[in-house]
């Protein structure tokens, strides 16, 4: 089992529904976020292109955050999901520094927090909150080891990329382009 | 938009708190395992209770489920899977509806304006005192000027309850700015062509379209939920999108063709498209022959409007005009030239939407799969009530023959009818304002203020302190949609549906639902027979039982689908069909327009262009905000806190402006924005225009988050081009320039 997410940049409108759905699902305090939107603009008027991306923890195979964690709070569970055990986290911030995606933040109550792929939902057979709310249905989530899963099909049929491949982290958020 | 920059800034600030939080942290962990502690934080488990609702953050009214903890805290709202407005997926604002409930700035108790001779303030009042005062004033004013002199300005669910009260009282001066300040022109333009307007949601069959044409319409930035969903489905299926917009909108970025048109010239482009469609024989001949009236007149009318003619006006190259017309025809009849929603731009807006309607007709898209479907909605009887008294005059009489095709009361008309003038026969003396923040909604602030200052009495019903509440004599705090029952949602769709809204938790502080306020006032006015029910549950249950359901059933399911009564969704091949026009046909030549002295076919008129050093002010929406009502919502504010003024890099260079620099905007009449607005230098906007998101620049300090954040476009809209056909207020004829220093008070008018 290997969970991953693919986001179709041709469909994403950057509405930020994924951000707020994550905040209300996961009780993320206001002023913080586990996922966010980026917009890149290329070209000059009237030959312009934009790419909108919903970004979050990449749940990397080769995850620097897990390697550098001094207490074992950052760890990997079934399906390749990278989690932080709040009770073990001392808030040292080493993982925040090590993440090439800037995906982690210091929770005001003292630990480091980030996207969990909504593990509490996924283990019940539901989709992550961001995926289930997206009005454009531009996000696909599932098991890469299953060749017939929605995500496997999405990646089979479309050109795609990952962010910061040069970091060598083997990220598992894919962008369909 | 939630960007990474916000995040870093905030987490850096938050790091100071770590040591403190860490101090208490180990003691917390002792009792429970680390894993349990993690779990508790983001999993409410099965303890949440869900109740059905439909959203009130915008007019799409998507149905959903509010999830509440045992102690009545609303934690999240999720779309109802059986609702065609959202298909289980609420938009950003609907998901953020929690914040409307949790906003600590909400109105708490009824307030009454008091004056000690010098200073005016509000004092808290009991409901009985406040409502008695409202009823007394209404009676007093009706005694002097007749009940018709009380008008209602409304938006959203509260409007119906107060509308019922007002009609029972004897006034039909009931208006919503959503007509003459927004979608009115397209209703009239489509009705003049097809015999019926569009309504809401629009019956655009985007799901199955092969070509979607957007004229300034920015789907994806306006989150009209099911339309955005269907646009995404259409992209998946490889549909062509053509976007006409001086701004590179999100929709433009999804388009095969983006036509960066010179603003205010859309009619020229539309006429050239009609010219190409006719001259290249691209139109649907059998459809046009069978269903339309006035084709020959139209053909003659557009003969001179060639793509070459339009090029000089629109700056869109002739070959692109031809290519896009052919692209539409290739997809026909599965093509939609979208009517748009907020279409009050230049005062010839009814004619522009007429041109849009004509293209749809020529391509045979109306009543066809992938074009426009025939909608249906559920009709539910009103709760038994006496016949309303007949008013002796209404809003139309105040217009004295102007705007003859206005189908609904126009808000600007009733504002003007509130300003006393020599010889004015019909005068409005009191307003009830429910759910609409007029100062950030109505153009021409001076006129609005003059009207407000002339009133004998004004009541405002709202959940939040807004600019309008500050002018009220009595403020009635409404509970949010998450804390009340309301009317059933009966809006049309492909199939008829009913949706229920019920309280997910107790009303906050002293707040009350609008139905309750209207009933109390009605009883105090001696109109009890119009409110012959104990509570709204009784009304809803009675209504639902008339159509074979019940309140109990709807509380369980939230949304219920019924069978279509309106016949098939699309025209059958060669089907005889009578349209509700004078000729029974789709009128390419509009007889109703001709009869009223207007151009029976659209013509292009040149509109004023920005003077040197000024730029056309274009405004629009952000996906996380609705009007000015969400800018203080803590969750949605967190996503976007203020608006920016978009400026083309060439223009920014000229002025030496940088992204994030604060400027004040000054319009052609010398009006300066109340607050500075930050610059966004971007290639996404034309050099002759600037763009900003509507709904920011709040001036009420009681809005602790939104106050002073960004600028209000409404303040800068002082030139209004009124549509002579239906009274719509064209608001895109305003030009602004930049002030980099804070202007002195004398300059700020």
- Cα separation, B285 vs A135, in Å, equals 38
Question: Do the two domains B198-375 and B615-748 of this chain adopt the same fold?
Answer: no
User: Is A124 within 8 Å of chain B by CB?
Assistant: no
**Confidence bin at B117 (pLDDT 50/70/90):** confident
What is the number of other CB atoms lying within 10 angstroms of the CB of residue B92?
30
Buried b (16+ CB within 10 A) or exposed e, A47-63: ebebbbbbbbbbbbeeb
In whole angstroms, how far apart are CA B700 and each of B118, B154, B508, B705, B714?
21, 20, 21, 10, 15
Q: Say what the pTM is.
A: 0.93
CB contact under 8 A, B250 and A13: yes
- Cα separation, B637 vs B624, in Å, equals 8
Closest residue of B to A34, CA-based?
B7
pLDDT in tens, B448-490: 999 999 999 999 999 999 999 999 999 999 999 999 999 999 9
Asked if the model's pLDDT at residue B44 lies above 60, the reply is no
Residue A16 has its nearest CB partner, among B1, B76, B685, at B1
- Cα separation, B230 vs B122, in Å, equals 48
Measured between CA atoms, how close is A23 to chain B, in angstroms?
9
CA within 13 Å, CB half, B433: 32
Closest residue of A to B245, CA-based?
A46
Residue B634 has its nearest CB partner, among A16, A30, A136, at A30
pLDDT value of position B743 = 86
pLDDT in tens, B507-558: 999 999 999 999 999 999 999 999 999 999 999 999 999 999 999 999 999 9
Residues 52-71 of A with CB under 8 A from B: 52, 55
CA within 13 Å, CB half, B481: 30
pLDDT in tens, B205-225: 999 999 999 999 999 999 999
Structural class in CATH, domain B615-748? mainly beta
Asked if the model's pLDDT at residue B15 lies above 60, the reply is no
pLDDT value of position B439 = 93
pLDDT in tens, B400-455: 999 999 999 999 999 999 999 988 899 999 999 999 999 999 998 899 999 999 99
pLDDT value of position B423 = 87
* Complex ipTM > 0.90: yes
- Cα separation, B539 vs B567, in Å, equals 29
Structural class in CATH, domain B198-375? alpha beta
User: pLDDT tens digits for chain A (177 residues)?
Assistant: 999 999 999 999 999 999 999 999 999 999 999 999 999 999 999 999 999 999 999 999 999 999 999 999 999 999 999 999 999 999 999 999 999 999 999 999 999 999 999 999 999 999 999 999 999 999 999 999 999 999 999 999 999 999 999 999 999 999 999
CB contact under 8 A, A133 and B90: yes
Domain A3-176 fold is Alpha-Beta Plaits (3.30.70)
CB contact under 8 A, B232 and A105: no
Average pLDDT, chain B: 93
Domain ranges within chain B, ordered by starting residue = 198-375, 615-748
Q: Which residues of B touch A128 (CB under 8 A)?
A: none
Residue A133 has its nearest CB partner, among B95, B220, B232, at B95
CB contact under 8 A, B89 and A134: yes
Measured between CA atoms, how close is A31 to chain B, in angstroms?
6
Interface size between A and B, measured as CB pairs under 8 A: 194
CB contact under 8 A, B220 and A136: yes
Residue A105 has its nearest CB partner, among B11, B78, B636, at B11
Buried b (16+ CB within 10 A) or exposed e, B631-646: bbbbbbbbbbebbbbb
**Confidence bin at B11 (pLDDT 50/70/90):** very low
Domain ranges within chain A, ordered by starting residue = 3-176
CB contact under 8 A, A16 and B92: yes
Measured between CA atoms, how close is B689 to chain A, in angstroms?
13
User: Is A45 within 8 Å of chain B by CB?
Assistant: yes
User: Is A72 within 8 Å of chain B by CB?
Assistant: no
pLDDT in tens, B640-699: 999 999 999 999 999 999 999 999 999 999 999 999 999 999 999 999 999 999 999 999
Q: Which residues of A touch B96 (CB under 8 A)?
A: 20, 24
Measured between CA atoms, how close is A9 to chain B, in angstroms?
9
User: Is A43 within 8 Å of chain B by CB?
Assistant: yes
CB contact under 8 A, A16 and B623: yes
Kindly give, in sequence order, each residue whose CB lies less than 8 Å from that of residue B437, ignoring residues fewer than 6 positions away: B462, B466, B467, B468, B627, B628, B629
Kindly state the percentage of chain B with pLDDT values over 70: 93
């Amino acid at each position: 089992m290997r969970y991953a997410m693919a986001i179709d940049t041709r469909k994403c409108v950057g509405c930020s529904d994924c951000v707020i759905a994550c905040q209300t699902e996961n009780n993320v305090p206001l002023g913080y976020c586990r996922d966010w939107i980026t917009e890149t603009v290329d070209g000059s008027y009237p030959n312009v292109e934009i790419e909108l991306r919903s970004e979050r923890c990449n749940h990397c195979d080769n995850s620097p955050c897990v390697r550098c964690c001094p207490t074992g709070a950052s760890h990997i569970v079934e399906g390749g999901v990278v989690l932080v055990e709040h009770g073990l986290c001392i808030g040292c911030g080493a993982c925040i520094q090590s993440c090439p995606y800037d995906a982690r933040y210091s929770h005001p109550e003292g630990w480091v927090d980030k996207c969990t792929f909504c593990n509490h939902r996924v283990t019940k057979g539901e989709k992550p909150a961001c995926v289930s709310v997206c009005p454009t249905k531009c996000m696909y989530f599932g098991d890469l080891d299953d060749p017939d899963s929605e995500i496997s099909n999405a990646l089979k049929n479309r050109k795609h990329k990952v962010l910061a491949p040069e970091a060598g982290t083997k990220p598992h958020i894919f962008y369909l382009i | 938009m939630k960007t990474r920059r916000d995040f870093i800034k905030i987490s850096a600030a938050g790091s100071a708190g770590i040591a403190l939080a860490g101090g208490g942290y180990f003691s917390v962990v002792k009792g429970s395992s680390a894993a349990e502690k993690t779990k508790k934080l983001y999993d409410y488990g099965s303890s949440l209770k869900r109740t059905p609702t439909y959203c009130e953050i915008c007019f799409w009214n998507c149905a959903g489920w509010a999830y509440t903890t045992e102690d009545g805290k609303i934690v999240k709202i999720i779309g109802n899977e059986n609702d065609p407005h959202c298909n289980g997926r609420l938009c950003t604002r609907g998901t953020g509806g929690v914040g409307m409930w949790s906003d600590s700035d909400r109105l708490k108790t009824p307030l009454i304006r008091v004056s000690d001779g010098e200073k005016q303030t509000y004092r808290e009042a009991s409901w009985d005192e406040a409502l008695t005062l409202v009823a007394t004033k209404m009676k007093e004013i009706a005694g002097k000027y007749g009940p018709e002199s009380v008008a209602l300005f409304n938006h959203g669910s509260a409007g119906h309850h107060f509308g019922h009260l007002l009609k029972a009282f004897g006034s039909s001066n009931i208006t919503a700015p959503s007509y003459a300040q927004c979608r009115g022109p397209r209703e009239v333009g489509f009705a003049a062509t097809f015999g019926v307007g569009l309504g809401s949601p629009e019956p655009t069959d985007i799901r199955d379209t092969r070509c979607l044409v957007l004229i300034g319409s920015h789907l994806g930035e306006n989150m009209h939920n099911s339309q955005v969903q269907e646009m995404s489905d259409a992209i998946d299926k490889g549909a062509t999108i053509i976007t006409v917009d001086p701004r590179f909108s999100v929709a433009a970025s999804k388009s095969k063709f983006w036509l960066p048109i010179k603003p205010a010239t859309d009619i020229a482009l539309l006429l050239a498209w009609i010219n190409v469609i006719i001259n290249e024989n691209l139109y649907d001949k059998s459809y046009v022959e069978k269903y339309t009236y006035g084709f020959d007149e139209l053909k003659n009318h557009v003969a001179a409007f060639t793509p070459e003619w339009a090029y000089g006006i629109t700056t869109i190259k002739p070959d692109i005009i031809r290519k896009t017309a052919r692209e539409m025809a290739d997809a026909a009849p599965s093509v939609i030239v979208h009517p748009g929603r907020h279409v009050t731009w230049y005062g010839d807006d009814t004619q522009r939407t007429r041109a849009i309607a004509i293209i749809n007709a020529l391509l045979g898209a109306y009543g066809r799969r992938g074009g426009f479907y025939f909608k249906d909605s559920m009709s539910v009887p009103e709760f038994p009530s006496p016949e309303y008294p007949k008013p002796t005059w209404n809003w139309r009489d105040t217009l004295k023959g102007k705007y003859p095709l206005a189908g609904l009361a126009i808000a600007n008309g009733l504002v003007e009818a509130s300003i006393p003038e020599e010889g004015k026969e019909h005068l409005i003396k009191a307003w009830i304002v429910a759910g609409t923040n007029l100062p950030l909604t109505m153009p021409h602030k001076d006129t609005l203020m003059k009207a407000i200052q002339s009133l004998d009495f004004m009541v405002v019903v709202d959940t939040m302190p807004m600019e309008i509440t500050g002018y009220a004599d009595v403020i009635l705090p409404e509970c949010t949609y998450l804390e009340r029952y309301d009317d059933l949602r009966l809006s049309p769709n492909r199939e008829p549906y009913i949706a229920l809204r019920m309280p997910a938790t107790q009303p906050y502080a002293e707040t009350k639902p609008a139905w309750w306020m209207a009933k109390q006032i009605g009883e105090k006015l001696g109109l009890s027979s119009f409110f012959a029910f104990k509570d709204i549950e009784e009304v809803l249950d009675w209504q639902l039982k008339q159509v074979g359901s019940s309140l109990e059933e709807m509380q369980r399911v939230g949304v219920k689908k019924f069978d279509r009564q309106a016949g098939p969704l699309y025209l059958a091949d060669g089907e005889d069909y009578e349209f509700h026009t004078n000729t029974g046909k789709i009128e390419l030549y509009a007889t109703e327009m001709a009869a009223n002295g207007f151009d029976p076919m659209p013509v292009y008129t040149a509109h004023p262009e920005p003077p040197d050093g000024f730029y056309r002010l274009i405004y629009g929406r952000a996906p996380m905000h609705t009007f000015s009502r969400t800018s203080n919502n803590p969750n949605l504010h967190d996503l976007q806190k203020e608006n920016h003024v978009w400026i083309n890099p060439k223009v920014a260079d000229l002025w030496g402006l940088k992204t994030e620099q604060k400027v004040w905007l000054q319009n052609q009449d010398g009006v300066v924005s109340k607050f500075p607005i930050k610059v966004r230098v971007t290639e996404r906007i034309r050099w002759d225009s600037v763009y900003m998101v509507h709904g920011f620049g709040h001036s009420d300090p009681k809005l602790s988050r939104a106050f002073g954040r960004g600028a209000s476009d409404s303040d800068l809209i002082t030139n209004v081009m009124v549509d002579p056909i239906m009274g719509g207020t064209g608001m895109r004829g305003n030009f602004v320039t930049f002030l980099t220093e804070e202007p002195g008070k004398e300059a700020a008018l």
